[in-house]
Amino acid sequence: MTFGEKLRQLMTERGTRLRKLAKEVPVDQGHLSRIANDHRAPSVDLAQRLDKLLHAGGALAALKPIPVRTAVHDDLGEATEAIELARRVATSDVGDETLVALEMTVDDLASAYPRSAPGELLARTRQHLAYVSQLMDSRMTLAERRRLVVVGGWLSLLAATCDVDLGRRPAAAARLRTAAQLARHVGHPEILAWTLETQAWQHITDGDYRQAVELARGAHEMAPKSSSAYIQATAQEGRAWARLAADGVTGAARETREALARVERLVEPLPMPDRPEHHYRYDPAKSDAYIATTLSWLGDPAAEPYARGVLDRLERPTAGPARPRRAASARLDLALALLASDQPDEAAHAAMEAVTSGRLVPSNYWRAAEVITAVEALRVPGAAELHEAYRELCPPKGDDV
């Protein structure tokens, strides 16, 4: 009895359909069908996995699959060696359908980022990372392996971003290293640039603004000129300079405005992407949000109209779903802008809405604390209530792995 015959027999006896078994392995359904019909030989790992799932007690795994026939002739030795090499390179246990599904999953998860709780999104992302890790042991073509590594790079990057949002520094650092390693392995400069940009944001949240500038510039140099990472790195550099300007660093305000001008030039010709909520696609409206943040950190009253416009578009978007997490951050921008324009009462109200929204992530708690400190110093009515809400709803960040 051949491997395929025994596999079909066991599936019939167990009442298991091909589609269900392929999902349990998991493996591409078309590839499993070819194995069941002895048109493709399974790997040792796959044979053992099928044996276990079908409770064959080793009987299935012990069967040797039908060998792939290759014509061998002394006079054609070199030719058949080349044919065999090509056959092995083309052999795959993964399949295009699986890779397309994973690539679509990456886009879905990245698009869910602005409206999902970081802990919940991290859990989903980790599940897919585990599956990608499992597939790495499968046979696949060189092209398929590259696609799988790229998927792993994006998923590691997204998981690291969620870790940053949750204040999980060791986990974020480890996943950023993994994303960078995978990106270098396949020569993917955009993922590499995003890892540096993400580190820049983490250093801003930690108050290390000089290092944030250096990392943002490194991301800018690494990123392809036509990529979203190129624009995002420029915007992140501007935010870091704005924090340095707020600290009184000479020339930082000029650097801030130059970075904002560069972002404006880069964004002007951009069309609206099909999924503007995608975290790794820069849509033109996102630049207004960064301008609002940057100007509010400079203490520039011009931040107010930007912040109001951004908040309105986030809550009532003309394209894509509402983005409540970004709306919470936009309220903090508005609060700082209102302080700069001498409207502390409304600033306290905007901050309270952000704190009580349930959408503020730990990486932004410090921004809320900044507003609270300012309204308390001004003895704004309701400042004590705002402080109490912050203490209750924004607990200290953890560093758990």
Domain of residue 379, CATH code = 1.25.40
pLDDT digits (tens, 9 = 90+) for 194-208: 999 999 999 998 899
pLDDT digits (tens, 9 = 90+) for 119-129: 999 999 999 99
**Nearest CA-CA partner of 245 in 236, 233, 255:** 255
Same domain, 295 and 380: yes
Total of domains in the chain: 3
Answer with the one of 63, 90, 117 that is the final residue of a domain. Answer: 90
Q: The tokens 């001004």 sit on which residue?
A: 378
Residue 318, SS3 per DSSP: coil
| pTM for the whole structure | 0.72
Q: Is residue 209 part of a domain?
A: no
**Nearest CA-CA partner of 94 in 51, 131, 48:** 131
Same domain, 127 and 147: yes
- Cis status, amide bond into 170, omega within 30 of 0: no
Same domain, 62 and 145: no
pLDDT digits (tens, 9 = 90+) for 367-395: 999 999 999 999 999 899 999 999 998 87
Q: What is the extent of the structural domain holding 69?
A: 3-90
Q: Is residue 224 part of a domain?
A: no
The span from the CA of 51 to the CA of 55, in Å, is: 6
Q: Which two tokens stand for residue 190?
A: 């955009």
Please, are residues 297 and 336 in contact by the beta-carbon 8 Å criterion?
Answer: yes
- Burial code (b: 16+ CB inside 10 Å, e: under 16) for 159-187 equals bbbbbbbbbbbebbbbbbebbbebbeeee
Same domain, 310 and 386: yes
Answer with the one of 129, 164, 187 that is the final residue of a domain. Answer: 187
Which parts of the chain have pLDDT scores under 50?
67-76, 80, 83, 398-401
**Nearest CA-CA partner of 156 in 167, 144, 170, 172:** 172
The span from the CA of 42 to the CA of 124, in Å, is: 29
Q: Is residue 325 part of a domain?
A: yes
- Compute the mean pLDDT over every residue in the chain, rounded to the nearest whole number: 87
What CATH number did the domain enclosing 11 receive? Answer: 1.10.260.40
Q: Is residue 391 part of a domain?
A: yes
Same domain, 319 and 381: yes
Identify the pLDDT of residue 319: 65
Please, are residues 122 and 159 in contact by the beta-carbon 8 Å criterion?
Answer: yes
Answer with the one of 41, 59, 90 that is the final residue of a domain. Answer: 90
In angstroms, the Cα distances linking 133 to 58, 171, 179 are: 25, 17, 13
